[in-house]
Amino acid sequence: MKKYLMLLVMVVCFTAVNALDKGKWTGFIGDENCGVKGNDPKHAACAMKCVKDGAKPVFVVGDKVYAISNAEKVEKFVGTKVTITGTITNDVLVIDTVIN
């Protein structure tokens, strides 16, 4: 019984650690239509146009695209490289701070 309890505790801890990533990342604010293409300063005009036309802003770091739960914090940074602190859970970013 103790073995099963320890195994359950280990699985829960491992899952919690992988599901919640708090930290600091540098990347580009792009748009959901172009995704990874937004990881480039040459994409700024396109990203701004797409967001203006209704696309949601996303945070692009390397080949990874994160949805942003509180997108109002990045409205003035669309198309630019930023450093963000916050929490990522299941590929959704909750932003604490944005530094340009």
Phi-psi region of 46 (alpha: psi -120 to 50; beta: other; left: phi over 0): alpha
pLDDT at 15 (0 to 100): 54
Question: Is 18 buried (19+), middle (13-18) or exposed (0-12) by CB count in 10 A?
Answer: exposed
pLDDT at 10 (0 to 100): 59
Q: What is the pLDDT along the chain (100 residues), one digit of tens a residue?
A: 666 555 555 555 555 555 568 999 999 999 999 999 989 999 999 999 999 999 999 999 999 999 999 999 999 999 999 999 999 999 999 999 999 9
Tokens 């959704």 sit on residue: 92
Domain ranges of the chain: 21-99
